[in-house]
Amino acid sequence: AVAAARPTGKPWEEVAEERLYRPLGMASTSSRHSDFVKQTNRAALHVKDDGAWAARIERDPDAQAPAGGVSSTARDLSQWLRLILGNGVYAGKTLIAADALSQTHVPLIARGNNPVSGGASFYGLGWNVEFGRHGLSWGHAGAFSVGARTLVTVFPKEKLGIVIVANAFPTGLPEGLSDSFADLVFDGKVEKDWVKAWDDIYAGLFGPAVAAAKAAYAAPPSPSRPAGPDSVYAGRYANDFIGDAIVSKAGDDLVLKVGPAAGRSYSLRHFDGDLFLTFPDAETPDSPSGVSFVVGADGKASAMTVGFLDDNHLGTLQRVGD
């Protein structure tokens, strides 16, 4: 996207507006988060928290605007669908060359079979190309794990398409509605409960991992060991993979800060001895992760292992300085 915009001398979000959104009359669509937050009628992102949907996070996706940072409406996206179904022609005007658009629909990489419908699926350029129970379809699903789901499905031969946007995650509702819609159009009746089938798929993305984390930290050992004074753990830690991390006192709690300019902050709750818990993932707010310290003979922590950064065994940081 950056390379495509560079010859114009303008940023991607401006090029997208000039070349695509404005010609299609997509007045409520933008690749700027600032335009989204100006809207008084806008959706809030929702995640499941102890079985109930809750708005937890406000996400600024500008850094990935070309690949998931567009805010829009179903009405606006229907105009974009008309462009796709028209092979780049909208209201009699060519906005995208048909040959260029057709290249995005060529199946290039095998994805295996659709996990619910069983259709043979491939990656194209930005599109999933599927040969399913209703013939050829192009599609793409998107999600913010902090609370959004989207889906587009196009049946090019029939000049038929559907776009679904939802402000919740995890949910298989978009795929379920799309499959139900296709059944009604092609067969006159819905074959099965597609929403439930897709809900089960998305629940499986996080459900087992959350259950395992909860079980691991269900209760501290009995008797539990007390933590040392906060000064034992407070300090700066680092490794070549993660960079710097800072543990400091904030009110009555210890806080772990990581990332550029210590931009991500995680409260630490004592669990047992030199082991603390934090809840790092907004999309799974009830899933705990451990942060453990190794305390040396001098009474200071010499190292810290951050569980949610340790999937590849690169989450151990050494104390730097004092």
Q: What is the pLDDT of residues 234-244, one digit of tens each?
A: 999 999 999 99
Q: How many CB atoms lie within 10 A of CB 305?
A: 17
Share of the chain above pLDDT 90, in %: 76
Whole-structure pTM value: 0.75
What is the average per-residue pLDDT within 6-26?
Answer: 95
- Partners of 110 in beta bridges: 122
What pLDDT score was predicted for residue 205?
A: 78
**pLDDT category, 322, cuts 50, 70, 90?**
low
Helix (H) or strand (E) holding 272: strand 264-272
Torsion of Cα atoms, 55 then 263 then 231 then 295, to 10°: 90
Peptide bond preceding 285: is omega within 30 degrees of 0, i.e. cis?
no
The backbone region for 34, taken as left when phi is positive above 0, alpha when psi lies in -120 to 50, beta otherwise, is alpha
Start-to-end C-alpha separation, the chain:
45
Q: How many CB atoms lie within 10 A of CB 82?
A: 15
Helix residue ranges per DSSP H, the chain: 2-5, 12-16, 33-38, 74-85, 98-103, 173-187, 194-216, 230-233
Average pLDDT, the chain: 93
Residue 125 near residue 131 (C-beta atoms within 8 A): no
What is the average per-residue pLDDT within 215-227?
Answer: 91
What pLDDT score was predicted for residue 283?
A: 65
Q: Give the tens place of pLDDT for each residue, 126-183.
A: 999 999 999 999 999 988 777 889 999 999 999 999 999 999 988 999 999 999 999 9
186, pLDDT greater than 90? yes
* All domains in the chain, ordered by first residue: 2-212 (3.40.710.10), 230-320 (2.40.128.600)
Q: Give the tens place of pLDDT for each residue, 91-104.
A: 999 999 999 999 99
Q: Give the tens place of pLDDT for each residue, 272-310.
A: 999 999 999 866 778 899 999 999 999 999 999 999 999
